[in-house]
Chain A
Amino acid sequence: MALDRKIAYINLSTGEIRKGDIPLEWRKKFIGGRGLDAYLLYTNNPPGIDAFDPENRVLISAGIVVGALASASARTHIMSKSPLTNFLGSANMGGWFAPEMRWAGFDHLVISGKAEKPVYLWIHNGEIEIRDAKNIWGENIYDTQTILRQELNDNEIQTLCIGPAGENLVRFANVMTGRKNAGGRTGMGAVLGSKNLKAVVCRGTMDIKIKYPEEALKYNEELINQIISSKVSQTMQRWGTMFIYGTTNSTGLVRTRNFQLNQLVGGSDIECENLDKVSIGLDGCFGCQVHCRHRYVIKDGPYAGTYAQGPEYTSQGAFGAEVGCNNMNTILVGNHLVNSYGLDTLETGSMMAWAMELYEKGILTDRDTDGLRLEWGDDEAVLELIKKIATREGIGDILADGPLRAAKKIGKGSETYLVHVKGMSNLHSDERPTPSLALGIATASRGSDHLRSRPAIDLYNLPVQVLEKVYRQPDGYDGPLTSGYTKYEGKPRIVLWQELCYMAVDCTGMCKYHTVFLSPNHPNFPEFAKMIYYNTGLEFTPKEIWDIANRCYTIERLFNIREGLTRKDDWLVDRYFDEPTKRGLPVAYNKKMDRKKFKAMIDEYYSLHKWDNDGVPTPELLKDLDIADLYPEESRQERKGK
């Protein structure tokens, strides 16, 4: 049957492995993937524990249509308490791991405990073994996967693993599958490192029975046509996500030199068109026709001849605009290094840019950096600092602890120059001219984040009629919607809509670029309903999927509330309100956020969510979503008492 994949509970301290069915009731309430992970984390994790406590669970999952007849149904999700933010940890990656995990018989892994020595999990056709990892501990991401393929004598295995950064408990270490697919945000690699869990390896040949195979195949064809006939997809087929930089940097929406500027003037060398000089073709994730991942060979410098994949838009900021570099080779090498060490590219770039601003202001000196001159645009210093962070050497050891802890150690007012929300750094986008994007990063469930609620199509200044077609369904919203990305009015709704759309797509296991992220014409709730039905036989209306996504997002919110989140955490650093932008087109120039208007946006956003004034989901909402038992009245009263 279509829904016969299992859940496994793995205790690394005791070696106990328990397998079970996934109840149909869970499917109907949470679908799968990120949504079911949220429920499992909330109900299995002891409240308030440290992220490195062995009792902190790690969830690894595949969405409900992963590996089936659905386009780009390739996504792996990983969730835990974050060692970076102390709130929700969650990351999502493409590639081939999640399909292989399903073909090996499992949809969800719930991992607890800590192994006495380094181990990896070997999952194959319904079996799970805990194996010694001493010969791969210390190896980088690429070599770890190569050694495991040799050890298991199988080139078809798929591996999710950590690199040296995760082993060294860098609080923004990622998990990787393949050479490039990164579960980057919130430090999930460090949690695996704290458990001595180096890798999870899958190999499976167990069929996934499609409920209505002919209809599913036909419908998948429709979906693929819908997706790849858009201009956005066609551009991504040539240059991947780096194409976005053309729009954002041209306008003045790119965080440059940490947060001092909003545009890398003359930054033409790092434009995606220059990838053509090094690219040897593009690759794709399971089931995807877009193929947005470049394969390239580094041409210059000490890494010349190295093969790597990527980079993405995020790395253009991390090793380009944020640190003031205008050198494609630095982007390519930086991308290779973070992937090899297992570091989140975004957080790494942001921490380096912050350190450079501190150096410029004399808060950090050569004594602090062991003589490394952290000057804007110094390509060699950037690449050297990546290594120091991954290996926790010198100043890198401080930066490896993430924004808030590093600022506490450095002191001297250094926190003033951080650009973060909830202790996680912002993307290299500059949201001062774009209130909807600013609201999204301020309220996202995993800290500052552009992949949890970003209404990116707001940047297109689409006519209201187009916005209405997208944002009024499936619940019949009849409030305001406005065209124009500098406006505050009507934006909370589109942030909320995107939150639930992205949650829904993460429950299915499809790629976000296959939904309304960069194109208003891409699939969303009605298409998700059909795809799930043809593949699994589960019947949902678009509105029911909306409600499920709302339920899952609310549980993520409850997790954060339980870990101590308050309204003040849904806010931006003062620089957004006090420092106007200095560059860009008139539409983006001399812009800063308005505190009063932004507060009103948060009020409206909470109200639309049916959260109270402190951002806590109301009893009425929890009752409507049938999860009132997850946050009983005693918990509410206890919080008020604090």
Chain B
Amino acid sequence: MKIKKVMEGARDGEIRCLACFTRFRPKRGVDRAACPSCGVQWRISWPYPKTARLQGPVWETYPKPGEPIAKK
């Protein structure tokens, strides 16, 4: 039985910004990235080399309650 171990496809390494839902691809291996669309900053982890995961926000820069997010 041959099992595909690694996801292959156009969305390798992509994450989705939880603030504006834009998909973007952080540079492979980075631990932080800002959404190119709205600027919200995220911490990134990598369960596998090609698979990015949004670990959590960068709390220091997280939008304050009620603060709007600038969507480009």
Contacts and interface: CB of A to CB of B under 8 A. Distances in A.
B65 A582 contact: yes
Given A224-B3, A225-B4, A461-B21, A250 B47 contact: no
A583 B2 CA distance: 46
Given A229-B4, A273-B45, A585 B55 contact: no
B56 A230 contact: no
Contacts of B55: 246, 271, 273
Nearest to B43: A268
A230 B7 contact: yes
Nearest to B66: A589
A583 B65 contact: yes
Interface in A236-260: 237-239, 243, 246-247, 249-251
A586 interface: yes
A235 B53 contact: yes
A444 B29 CA distance: 41
Contacts of B1: 217, 221, 224
Contacts of B67: 586
A240 to B, nearest CB: 11
B65 A246 contact: no
Contact of A250 (B4, B18, B21): B18
A49 interface: no
Contact of A246 (B53, B59, B68): B53
A246 B54 contact: yes
A470 interface: no
B60 to A, nearest CB: 10
B65 A589 contact: yes
B19 interface: yes
Interface string A445-472: 0000000000000001100000000000
B69 interface: yes
Main SS class of interface, B:
loop
Report the contact-size class of chain B (Cβ under 8 Å from the partner).
Answer: 20 to 34
Interface string B1-27: 111111110010000101101000000
Nearest to A461: B21
Contacts of A224: 1, 3
B56 A585 contact: no
Contact of B19 (A217, A235, A246, A585): A585
B39 interface: no
A247 B18 contact: yes
Contacts of B57: 250
B18 A229 contact: no
B67 to A, nearest CB: 8
B3 A228 contact: yes
B6 to A, nearest CB: 8
A40 interface: no
Nearest to A229: B4
Given A238-B47, A273-B45, A589-B66, A247 B54 contact: yes
B34 to A, nearest CB: 14
Contacts of A238: 47-48
Nearest to B68: A586
A221 B67 CA distance: 49
B4 A228 contact: yes
A567 interface: no
Interface in B28-72: 40, 42, 45, 47-48, 51, 53-57, 59, 62-63, 65-69
Nearest to A236: B47
A221 B1 CA distance: 7
Contacts of B63: 585-586
A589 B18 CA distance: 13
A130 interface: no
B4 A237 contact: no
Interface string A183-221: 000000000000000000000000000000000010001
Contacts of B18: 247, 250-251, 585, 587
Given A231-B7, A235-B51, A590 B56 contact: no
A125 interface: no
A249 B59 CA distance: 11
A585 B7 contact: no
Q: Which of A239, A247, A585, A589 has the largest count of B CB atoms less than 10 A from its CB? A: A585
A229 B54 contact: no
Contacts of B4: 225, 228-229
A225 B66 contact: no
B66 A590 contact: yes
A271 B18 CA distance: 17
A197 B56 CA distance: 45
Q: Which of A228, A231, A243, A589 has the largest count of B CB atoms less than 10 A from its CB? A: A231
Contacts of A228: 3-5
A52 to B, nearest CB: 44
A224 B40 CA distance: 36
A596 to B, nearest CB: 25
A239 to B, nearest CB: 7
B48 A234 contact: yes
Interface in A411-469: 460-461
A239 B51 CA distance: 13
Contacts of B21: 461
B19 A249 contact: no
A133 interface: no
A464 B3 CA distance: 31
B19 A237 contact: no
B64 to A, nearest CB: 10
A582 B63 CA distance: 13
A237 B16 contact: no
Given A221-B1, A585-B18, A585-B63, A234 B54 contact: no
Contact of A243 (B6, B19, B53): B53
A587 B40 CA distance: 13
Nearest to A276: B45
A265 interface: yes
28 contacts: A221-B2, A224-B3, A228-B4, A229-B4, A230-B7, A231-B11, A234-B7, A234-B51, A235-B51, A238-B47, A243-B47, A246-B53, A247-B18, A247-B54, A250-B18, A250-B56, A250-B57, A251-B18, A265-B62, A266-B59, A271-B56, A461-B21, A585-B40, A586-B66, A586-B69, A589-B65, A589-B66, A590-B66
A-B complex: 4 closest residue pairs judged by Cβ atoms: A238-B47, A461-B21, A229-B4, A585-B19
